[in-house]
Amino acid sequence: MEGLMEGSLYRSMLESLNNSAKVIKLNPNVYERLKVPRRALILGVPVKMDDGRVHMFSGYRVQHNQTLGPFKGGLRYHPSVTLSEVAGLAALMTFKNSLLGLPLGGGKGGIQVDPGKLSKNELEHLTRRFTSELNTFIGPDKDIPAPDVGTDSQTMAWMLDTYSLEMGYSNTGVVTGKPVEIGGSLGRDSATGLGVVYIIEKALATMGRKLSGSTLAVQGFGKVGMHAAIEAYALGAKVVGVSDVSGALYNPNGINIGDLVRYTKENKFIKGFPEAEAINNEELLALDVDILAPCALDGVITEENVESIKAQIIVEGANGPMTTAASDYLNKRGCMVVPDILANGGGVVVSYFEWVQDIVWLFWSEEEVRSKLKTIMYRSFDKVWEFASKNKQSMRVSAMAVSLQRLEKAMLLRGQAW
C-alpha cells in the first residue's frame, strides 16, 4: 500500500517483525501477510466549526489482522497523525494482542487534529461524523475502538451514542474506555500505567531486586505516565524525574507524586512545580536511574541520543518510543529493554475485560480487574523471559517471536497461508 513506508514507526515495526521472523523461522506466507494491513481507510471528515465555516479533517482507520478475533485498537487525535503511523500502530496491536493471549486482532485509528484548539462542541461534531463514516466497518464483532493520545472516555461515549443511534439499538460493546455509567469497566483509566508497573516489578525480579527503593524516571505525565508514577510511588519506588509537554522535573530525593498530581489538576502542566528542579526532556532521558519509562509519543530514543541513556531497565509505556537500532545498542550494553507490545499491554487487557463485561452484562469490582490484569501481565512477561533466556535473544526480539508463534499457528490452522 502506497505511503505506508513513509513513517519511521512503520519501518521500525517491519524491522522488528523481520528480526523475530528469522529467529523462529516463520512461515514465509504468514510473514508476507503480516507485513501489510488487511484494510486501510482514509476519510475526509467535514465539521461545521463554531464560526460557521466547514473544515475538512483527515481521518484514518487501519485494520491490520483479525485471525485471532475482531480488530481492536485506539483512536488518537494529534496533529502528527498519518496513515503510516496509524498502520504501524495497528500492526503493533495485532502483535500485542497475540502476545497477551487475547482473542483480538489489531487495528488503529486517528484524526489529524490538535484537540486542544477545538471547542467541546467541535470535538463532538468531529467524533460523531468520523463514527458515521466508519459505521459499517466497526462493531463489537468487527472492530472495537478505544481511547488513545488526545481522546478519552467522553470521546468513546460520543462514538457509542452515534453508532447506537444509527444501528437503532444501544450496543455498548462497540467501543471500550467508556465511562462506567454507560458500560465502562472499573480500573480502565489506570490500566496501562498499572500494567507498566507490573512489568517493572517482573523486570526487577529477574535481577533479584524489588520496586521499593528503586529509582524511576517517567517521560510523559499523561494518561499512561501519570498512573505509572502513581502506582510505582504507592509501592515504594523513588520517582526522581517526570516530564510533560511543558518540560521536565528532577528531584534526587524523589518527587511526591500525590502533590504533583494535585498541582497538575490545578495548573494543567507540571511546569512550575515547586518541589523539584526544572530540567529539559533530554536531561530526563539521560538520568542515572534504575528504570526509565518513556510513556509519551514514539521516536524519543534514537541513534542520536541513545548513548546518553544510563537507565538499567527501560520499560516502553508508549508505542514505539525507541528505534530498533537504539534498542539493539542498549541491549548490547546490557540494558534490559522491555518492548511496548508487552510493557503497555495493560490498557488493551482491561479493554478486553470491558468488552467481555459488556457482552455478558456482568461487571467486576476494581479489585477483580486489577487481579486479573496482574495475572495476564505476569504470565506474558514470564513467556517472553523464558524465550529470551532459552534462545539468547533480547526481550524485544523475544516478545515479537512469542507473539508470532501464536499468530502463525492460528493462521495455518485457518488456512490463511496457502
The H or E element containing residue 265 is: helix 257-267
Return the pLDDT at 2: 57
Return the pLDDT at 417: 81
State the cell numbers at 388: 529470551
Return the pLDDT at 299: 82
Return the pLDDT at 68: 98
CB neighbourhood size of 386 (10 A): 12
From its phi and psi, is residue 361 left (phi > 0), alpha (psi between -120 and 50) or beta? left
Cα Rg of the chain (Å, integer): 20
CA distance 343 to 193: 9
Q: Tell me the catalytic residues.
A: 108
CA distance 335 to 343: 15
Match 537507565 to its residue by C-alpha cell: 311
Return the pLDDT at 1: 60
Return the pLDDT at 5: 64
CA distance 207 to 334: 12
The domains found in the chain, sorted by start residue, are: 4-170 (3.40.50.10860), 191-338 (3.40.50.720)
Per-residue pLDDT tens, the chain, 418 aa: give them. 656 667 788 988 898 899 999 999 999 999 999 999 999 999 999 999 999 999 999 999 999 999 999 999 999 999 999 999 999 999 999 999 999 999 999 999 999 999 999 999 999 999 999 999 999 999 999 999 999 989 999 999 999 999 999 999 999 999 999 999 999 999 999 999 999 999 999 999 999 999 999 999 999 999 899 999 999 999 999 999 999 999 999 999 999 999 999 999 999 999 999 999 999 999 999 999 999 999 987 789 999 999 999 999 999 999 889 888 899 999 999 999 999 999 999 999 999 999 999 999 999 999 999 999 999 999 999 999 999 999 999 999 999 999 999 999 999 999 998 7
